[in-house]
Amino acid sequence: MIRVGILGSGFIADSYADSLLDVRDGVLAANFSRDAERGADFAARWNSPQTYTDIAELCANPDIDVVVVALPNEAHVDAVRIAAAAGKGIICTKPLARTGAEAAEILRIVEEAGVWHGYAESSVFSPNVAKAHEMAKAGGIGELLTMRAREAHSGPHAPHFWDAETAGGGALLDMGCHTVESARHFFGKDNPVTEVFAWGSTLVHTDKTTGEDTAVALLKFAKGQLAIIESSWAEKGGMQLRHEFSGTEGRLVTDTSVTPVWGFLGRPTGYLVEKADSETGWVHPVPEETRAYGFSQQMRHFIDHYAAGTTPMETFEDGWIVNCILDACYRAMRSGTWEPVRLER
């Protein structure tokens, strides 16, 4: 049994704790929160046997095998450094870091410590995207030519995301990291993104963030393909998660926001979907969100590979590359021109 410690007590930490319920060989063994009361609440929700208010103390626990970093972006480097020094396997939520340079430091830390690491990019593990990838890889739509992906909602859960200076960016960093990695997953990691063009603006949340709440980026691949990614914190009506793939022999579409359950509610019934803006009217709840978004499949994959001592599909190297691509996108926003992707360590 692989024993897992989760750092954090917010929405994403809940998602990882929930996903562990679907992992036969993994169990939640401890949790951390800077706030003792929040940590105790998290432990009660998920039956965590040990709660800490100090990351180093959790990582010093010999009963912990793997540490999951489910903390704000600005806390990732220090958390990874502490966990790596303790010799723990590490899973880090997306984005790996705020910049390519910071991601390179995280990658250096785990490489020098020689610890196992997995980059928790859930989108490539979600069932609909995984099925589309299987069909595309089997040649169902011929040679893949273009991809368009969109992630949108009305804004983040936690206030720390709104502080663009501390978080490292706005909607593009927060959600574009998903779609950038989806593009790399489909077009092939041996087919690098060479240059990008991007636009971003604060259209709605001018009173909340100095970062962009809306962004579009174009990614050119070495073999000539193009990915268009859209990220928005300015869209009402709940989560939008859509991918469109065009090939020489056909096309594929995935849309996580289209579910088997929908209807018109005259009265609230409780939680419907992540970032739903209304509990009444026309609603589209997402059943089993943890599984629909790929968290459970991702956690099973990571725990299986950690137990076997093998490299998972997503590692900190992937997170670093994504950060470097997003860095180029932010440069393009400022310059108004295509910018090269610099993989500098």
Query: Are 23 and 150 part of one and the same domain?
Result: no
**Number of helices and strands (H, E) in the chain?**
11, 15
Query: Are 6 and 78 part of one and the same domain?
Result: yes
Residue 115 has pLDDT above 90, yes or no: yes
Query: Are 176 and 283 part of one and the same domain?
Result: yes
Residue 127 has pLDDT above 90, yes or no: yes
Is 316 within the bounds of a domain? no
- The pLDDT of residue 260: 82
Residue 179: pLDDT band with limits 50, 70, 90:
very high
Mean pLDDT for the chain overall: 95
What proportion of the chain, given as a percentage, has pLDDT over 90? 83
From 60, 95, 121, give the residue that closes a domain: 121
Query: Cα 211 to the chain's mean position, in Å?
Result: 19
What are the start-end ranges of the E strands in the chain? 2-7, 26-32, 51-52, 66-69, 89-93, 117-120, 144-152, 193-201, 214-221, 226-232, 240-247, 250-255, 263-265, 281-283, 339-340
Query: Are 110 and 128 part of one and the same domain?
Result: no
Query: Are 114 and 29 part of one and the same domain?
Result: yes
Query: Are 332 and 250 part of one and the same domain?
Result: yes
Is 108 within the bounds of a domain? yes
Amino acid code (one letter) for 224: G
Residue 264 has pLDDT above 90, yes or no: no
Q: Which domain holds residue 205?
A: 124-292+324-340
- The pLDDT of residue 181: 98
Query: Are 270 and 144 part of one and the same domain?
Result: yes
- The pLDDT of residue 283: 81
Query: Are 65 and 137 part of one and the same domain?
Result: no
Residue 274 has pLDDT above 90, yes or no: no
Is 224 within the bounds of a domain? yes
Give the number of other CB atoms < 10 A from CB of residue 345: 13
Q: Which tokens in the block code for residue 113?
A: 């410590």
Give the closest residue to 129 by CA, choosing from 10, 270, 295: 295
**For the whole model, what pTM was predicted?**
0.95
From 62, 90, 121, give the residue that closes a domain: 121
H or E stretch covering 319: helix 316-335
Q: Which residues pair with 49 in a beta bridge?
A: none
- Give me the mean pLDDT over the 192-216 stretch: 95
Distance separating the N- and C-terminal Cα atoms of the chain:
36
Query: Are 182 and 222 part of one and the same domain?
Result: yes
Measured CA to CA, the distance from residue 307 to residue 25 in angstroms comes to 9
Residue 278 has pLDDT above 90, yes or no: no
- Give me the mean pLDDT over the 183-194 stretch: 98
CA angle 302, 95, 34 (to 5 degrees): 85
Measured CA to CA, the distance from residue 27 to residue 135 in angstroms comes to 33
Q: Which tokens in the block code for residue 126?
A: 């979600």
Q: Report how many domains make up the chain.
A: 2
From 64, 88, 121, give the residue that closes a domain: 121
Query: Are 91 and 222 part of one and the same domain?
Result: no
